Structure 1
């Protein structure tokens, strides 16, 4: 019954939306609700009106029946007027005029203020409240009161009322009173229906967001972030109740071979099959999720290591029997599992690290094994077998000594003998896993290569033992500066590597590097002498284009060598520019100072198209540099240099002034009004007097405030929320539009969306590129959720990087407001944009601009 009601209510809402123009549906929520209420009221009038006309006709008042039918026709015309004109106000006033005239006419002809229809005069202001708000309701209330007073006063002023006789007046009174009750109730129910449908959609959107926040997109099990939260809560319970629990890391053996042999779709099917199999084997209280790549993490609450080994062996056996079918072939699978029991008081990152070490041992000893950290298990292979034989010989050590020997053997497998840090071999394995997780989680991994400057001088002056002591102290200091979940290893000689996972931005890696450098500002004590040490730090980030494990290590080395050329205690982040000859990089950095005065900088504009009309409604200003020696330089190369040198502030002012002046020139030429979007960098936003400078530039160019759209990325907004809220509030109060650029790839927090004064969300191209599939998959659900959420917050949505007609069809269906991309136009010079606007104004291009070829 409930499903049937829901199905018919959905059909009713869809039918009402046919009358409502797209700009109302995609516009502010209040406007859409009022448009829906106009349709609701007209439908109610069209349904009930003929019955009342019939009643009046049967009671002998045929003139009233005709008048009611005519008024109903006018009321039914209001939704058609709404669809034709797009004006909610015009449709509303047509309906209210017909409603008011109907009951005023009936009351006048049925005997005045005592007529059975006099009480119906209240319906005009009541309906006006739903259709137009308080102001409209008060206007019609005044008009209804005036009509009632006039009808009452006319007989006293010598103007008798017609008083048309009705055969059964008491019956008419009863019909009017019951009808008033029923109509008010039904209208309220229709309003509630449309309102409830809106809230249901919002609830569904928030539910999808919540589901995406806790579930892995591919396998449907818990994602890493949510799973770690569950583990932290279990840690609190464990510390409180003194009950141990275990963490188990599961890695699918030879998963890369599956992808290479059968394709990534088969790899995805394998991941889903493994996830289902593990879930079928574990208990209801256990927590299972995807840790990244082909790794899964299983938490076993209140379970000691011995019981955990039994359960994980059962999981390993079930997966060994699993067969996945792909293109007629059977894929046999195995997993390696590392188990670690939580130790009271330790950080979760250390427990996961011990499970990771056990997993490494399981894989290095032949795979398809279960290894528990700290226990001498069969998978340790020949070395432990020899140790066991030695234990059986006469005079063998006792059990405690055997455990210590096993522990030392485990350490020798994966630790540097001098510093106790991880060695090069295990670091490469951890780095590979970290890169896989970064690909799945879309979070940054940073590799820091730290070189001790002048280490040879320490060896020469104080001896090799002093040098070894310095290395041990340096490794300890670096370890203390990192989080528990980070990894530090000795790479070679005087070089160390720090592996940082799950970073939000490049600045996080820089902050860690600066923290390490600050700590090395204090002297180290070596053979009872103080020794000052400086470092050079190179940082390489992943994911990155054309980058595998060896390339990432090479990039960190290039960045470290670049840091050494800048002097002691320097930090350098690898970029494509970092691998350029030093002379070229320095030339570009210095050349930025002259680029403005010599006219080497210029702007191109990429049109933004309204998806409801297919007309250009805005442009995004994009900075370009034509260097006299190096030619056209990619913005990704010179904008970071402008940030480093501080030139981004004057260059940003020039971009803003030029873009505003160009927009004004288009308007003065009689072209259609469009908005211009200009990007603001973090340094610009932090510059003193930023809001006043923007307002001065806009005022000087004479551009209307609403034609400027300032685009700011999520990460920049979050850096200093309070300060940014103040700056953006001043700009928005003046009428400037504010957009969040690259939405969905940074923080995507509902909290900052509710706090910051913004008008537009720009959906990042990462989501748009996944659209266009014949199946409405999770990527479509994510994009649709972003659009629905933005509309509920009364924000517009602009989709970036639209390149195919299939992507455009999906965006149309989810009622995205605007879009830009190669499907419409590449970035163009100002003259070409002016020509496009001129053709649009003249109607030469039809009702919509023709999409340009992707490579036009």
Structure 2
């Protein structure tokens, strides 16, 4: 039989078996396997039982034949009982009782302990082991041994067994033994089939998640994060073997015009067609992916610049001949390409930056062309010079002669290009203007040469505080500009600015003396209304001057005619200890609902800070400060103790027992004695360990896998639950998931927010469903975060998600409101209709 035929028949059998397994039993891998094995056992009874009844009838043992058929009938009732009752235990015990009675009666009826069916008494404990686990297997082993002993001892009590039938007993022994071997073998094979199918589904789920984690959802090419990882690995190989590689950055010309003219659906179709066309021109060893918006990045391993330019030109010609149809209209495309050859030892971000500069040059020269970095106006097909002949940037007029940073002319070009990308990608750009306070006094006191040294050191210090992809330039005099691209939130720019200020809390060494420098930082953000390049620079200058008026080491963000108040970072840092001592910290609790019963089964404890001056402080602002200062350890202990005490208080008030989830930080995980502190807090508050759920992000677990596994295993052995928080945002942990000692996966809100789309269940649903299937196959519960719409809830229920939390059910609540919700739940209907 061919592999396809075997797969088809196996699939048909499993589909038939699933008809008897209720939906609620399919949500847990272990439970589903037990249920399927009840059906497997009934199948064996349906096939083997009548055959043996026929054999006994032909041998003249008609009463035994009737008894076998009667017991088989009871065994065949197990799957319907399973389907109707949803109870594996009821179906299992019905089957095992019939099986046990069948062979016990046959052994007694056929002459006692020497009967051919005596060895069949072993089937009850063996089947019980598969159907119910060790406890069930041991119980029926004891029962079988007791039955065999009783049958053997009956003559001693004057209770003779029926005489053995006058048959060819050796032949009957042989038939029974062979039948026993066949039945056990077939049952084990059916069990293996069920288990293998489960592993196949798990493997498919893992493959789906891995594939979707590295692919751009729209185009199917690599996504940015995975592509950059491939480039990093190629960089390491190149640095080892001395062979460079090339990067080609593609930008579809006038893509915004396509979107505006034909609509975003047509734009998406153009992106897909473009990606397919490029992938048709490259080699299997090349890496191609979507870099952002309409920009794509291609890595060519072990390829010199000249060959890369030839390939890029071939792609350009193919794209120029590409035609995309939209409602009868023909959309033509062109593409601009920037090429850069990796220079041994440089950072990947620098190589991409040079490809970006070449792309900008290609677009400036009229678009629809290929430009290689350092072409120096030699035309689109000119090869890049070898690294040895490249003119240093500082000597080419692109950089400031004193600091080695970019000069203001090149910065303006970079800024214009960044603003164009921000418009396309709908991501923020931040411009930071940094001014050294009192620089004239430093010059006057230490001399101009020392002042130049200070400027050079200050520029280097600013550069080290930023990402490789960020741009730093000397704007003039004692002013520097930092250009930050691809920001997700407006607050990100202020965080970076404050990081720079923290660095300047340390002195610079100038002329053998320690010199403390303070800065005034102005921040302007783009896109913004009525803002072009010059206006953005002006806004950063206005914000910087406002920062100077506030005093030393201040950050101001431009916001219309005014600037934001003085940076609160230092005040918040210093106030954290007082916050803990003076009771400014408190907890709120967000309910978690069981989606099957629609009941609150747990809450997540969320830390809050009510500052006496600044009001309510967002956790995203003060928790990183607590990590920096080390205050997160005593604050974390306080939060854990408070949450446990509150859980105990709810129970003492007569409310239903629920679990409380508490987040652990990276700093807490590294503290020695964490398990002992957790157990001491549980003992102190009287909270059962089973009600505590410790949430840890997957990235934190992977940082020290062995140590964290040992730590979590100790807590779980004590009865504490462990969750992986924000699961799915760090796909590298998939390789280690089976090793992690955890109970629950919390699906990140990134996946949940994409569910419930009007267009039906697409790739987003497939990703979430794969996470749920994988978790259930590993015996883990799944809690979905950030559920906000009924459509998202419907999708989660359809895929079998266990529990959820989010604004659809309730916002984070004070303890009193949680208590009121639990009290209403005892008497009222479910919180959300099924």
TM-score relative to the length of structure 2: 0.82
Distance 1:851 1:145, change over 3 A: closer
Which residue pairs with 1:315 in the alignment? 315
Q: d(CA) in 2 for partners of 1:762 and 1:538?
A: 39
Q: d(CA) in 1 for partners of 2:652 and 2:465?
A: 59
Which residue pairs with 1:396 in the alignment? none
Distance 1:320 1:95, change over 3 A: same
8 Å Cα contact 1:448-1:537 kept in structure 2: no
Q: 1:610 aligns with which of 559, 582, 594?
A: 594
Which residue pairs with 2:96 in the alignment? 96
The residue correspondences of 1:51-66 to structure 2 (distance < 5 A) are 51-66=51-66
Q: d(CA) in 2 for partners of 1:166 and 1:262?
A: 92
8 Å Cα contact 2:555-2:567 kept in structure 1: no
Distance 1:486 1:315, change over 3 A: same
Which residue pairs with 1:326 in the alignment? 326
| Higher mean C-alpha deviation, range 788-797 or range 256-265 | 256-265
Which residue pairs with 2:801 in the alignment? 816
The residue correspondences of 1:552-563 to structure 2 (distance < 5 A) are none
Distance 1:717 1:554, change over 3 A: farther
Distance 1:140 1:699, change over 3 A: same
Cα deviation for residue 276 of structure 1 reads: 1.0
Q: d(CA) in 1 for partners of 2:570 and 2:91?
A: 66
Q: d(CA) in 2 for partners of 1:698 and 1:541?
A: 49
Cα deviation for residue 746 of structure 1 reads: 4.8
8 Å Cα contact 1:824-1:851 kept in structure 2: no
8 Å Cα contact 2:374-2:390 kept in structure 1: no
8 Å Cα contact 2:547-2:554 kept in structure 1: yes
Cα deviation for residue 796 of structure 1 reads: 1.6
1:780 aligns with 2:762: no
Which residue pairs with 1:673 in the alignment? 657
Distance 1:466 1:617, change over 3 A: closer
1:424 aligns with 2:411: yes
Q: d(CA) in 1 for partners of 2:205 and 2:558?
A: 38
Q: d(CA) in 1 for partners of 2:800 and 2:480?
A: 52
Q: Deviations over 1:202-240 (max 9, x none)?
A: 211221233234433322223344444544555566667
Q: d(CA) in 1 for partners of 2:568 and 2:462?
A: 34
8 Å Cα contact 1:799-1:820 kept in structure 2: yes
Which residue pairs with 1:391 in the alignment? none
8 Å Cα contact 2:465-2:499 kept in structure 1: no
1:825 aligns with 2:810: yes
Q: d(CA) in 2 for partners of 1:851 and 1:556?
A: 52
1:850 aligns with 2:832: yes
Helix, strand or coil for the counterpart of 2:144? helix
8 Å Cα contact 1:362-1:368 kept in structure 2: yes
Cα deviation for residue 120 of structure 1 reads: 1.8
Q: d(CA) in 2 for partners of 1:408 and 1:676?
A: 58
Which residue pairs with 1:294 in the alignment? 294
Q: Name structure 2 gaps, 5 residues minimum.
A: none
Cα deviation for residue 743 of structure 1 reads: 2.3
Which residue pairs with 1:189 in the alignment? 189
8 Å Cα contact 1:772-1:810 kept in structure 2: yes
The residue correspondences of 1:190-339 to structure 2 (distance < 5 A) are 190-231=190-231, 234=234, 245-339=245-339
Cα deviation for residue 633 of structure 1 reads: 6.3
Cα deviation for residue 158 of structure 1 reads: 5.2
8 Å Cα contact 2:423-2:527 kept in structure 1: no
Q: d(CA) in 2 for partners of 1:553 and 1:64?
A: 98
Which residue pairs with 2:734 in the alignment? 750
The residue correspondences of 1:599-638 to structure 2 (distance < 5 A) are 603-623=587-607
8 Å Cα contact 2:497-2:521 kept in structure 1: no
1:789 aligns with 2:774: yes
Q: Deviations over 1:243-281 (max 9, x none)?
A: 554322111223333344444433322221111111222
Which residue pairs with 1:735 in the alignment? 719
Q: d(CA) in 2 for partners of 1:462 and 1:629?
A: 41
1:494 aligns with 2:481: no
8 Å Cα contact 2:554-2:566 kept in structure 1: no
Which residue pairs with 2:13 in the alignment? 12
Q: d(CA) in 2 for partners of 1:776 and 1:269?
A: 19
Cα deviation for residue 756 of structure 1 reads: 5.3
Which residue pairs with 2:753 in the alignment? 769
Helix, strand or coil for the counterpart of 1:617? strand
Q: Deviations over 1:790-812 (max 9, x none)?
A: 33443221101222232222212
Cα deviation for residue 783 of structure 1 reads: 1.6
Q: d(CA) in 1 for partners of 2:287 and 2:626?
A: 48
Q: Deviations over 1:15-42 (max 9, x none)?
A: 4345446665434x44443333222112
Cα deviation for residue 187 of structure 1 reads: 0.8
Distance 1:450 1:631, change over 3 A: closer
8 Å Cα contact 1:365-1:380 kept in structure 2: no
Which residue pairs with 1:523 in the alignment? 509
8 Å Cα contact 1:601-1:623 kept in structure 2: yes
Distance 1:717 1:438, change over 3 A: farther
Helix, strand or coil for the counterpart of 1:137? helix
Helix, strand or coil for the counterpart of 1:816? coil
Q: d(CA) in 1 for partners of 2:419 and 2:446?
A: 38
Which residue pairs with 2:42 in the alignment? 42
8 Å Cα contact 1:626-1:632 kept in structure 2: yes
Helix, strand or coil for the counterpart of 1:523? strand
Distance 1:542 1:690, change over 3 A: farther
8 Å Cα contact 1:439-1:543 kept in structure 2: no
8 Å Cα contact 2:21-2:82 kept in structure 1: yes
Distance 1:819 1:374, change over 3 A: same
The residue correspondences of 1:376-525 to structure 2 (distance < 5 A) are 376-377=376-377, 411-412=396-397, 415-416=399-400, 419-422=403-406, 423-429=410-416, 431-432=418-419, 450-459=434-443, 471-472=455-456, 474-475=458-459, 487-498=471-482, 517=503, 521-524=507-510
Q: d(CA) in 2 for partners of 1:244 and 1:837?
A: 64
8 Å Cα contact 1:453-1:533 kept in structure 2: no
8 Å Cα contact 1:59-1:166 kept in structure 2: no
Q: d(CA) in 2 for partners of 1:141 and 1:777?
A: 50
Helix, strand or coil for the counterpart of 2:336? strand
Helix, strand or coil for the counterpart of 1:749? helix
Which residue pairs with 1:397 in the alignment? none
Q: d(CA) in 1 for partners of 2:420 and 2:722?
A: 40
Q: d(CA) in 2 for partners of 1:597 and 1:517?
A: 29
Distance 1:709 1:246, change over 3 A: closer
| Higher mean C-alpha deviation, range 664-673 or range 449-458 | 449-458
* Number of equivalenced pairs: 820
Q: d(CA) in 2 for partners of 1:744 and 1:719?
A: 16
Helix, strand or coil for the counterpart of 1:48? helix
Helix, strand or coil for the counterpart of 1:281? coil
Q: Deviations over 1:412-433 (max 9, x none)?
A: 5x54566553332233256458
Q: d(CA) in 1 for partners of 2:748 and 2:362?
A: 41
Q: d(CA) in 2 for partners of 1:547 and 1:628?
A: 37
Which residue pairs with 1:798 in the alignment? 783
Distance 1:715 1:119, change over 3 A: closer
Which residue pairs with 1:357 in the alignment? 357
Cα deviation for residue 767 of structure 1 reads: 0.8
Cα deviation for residue 201 of structure 1 reads: 1.3
Cα deviation for residue 102 of structure 1 reads: 0.5
Cα deviation for residue 851 of structure 1 reads: 4.9
Q: d(CA) in 2 for partners of 1:52 and 1:552?
A: 90
Which residue pairs with 2:374 in the alignment? 374
**Pairwise CA RMSD of aligned residues?**
4.9
Q: Deviations over 1:694-751 (max 9, x none)?
A: 4444333322221122334445556676776666555444323232322223576236
Distance 1:415 1:759, change over 3 A: same
Distance 1:152 1:781, change over 3 A: same
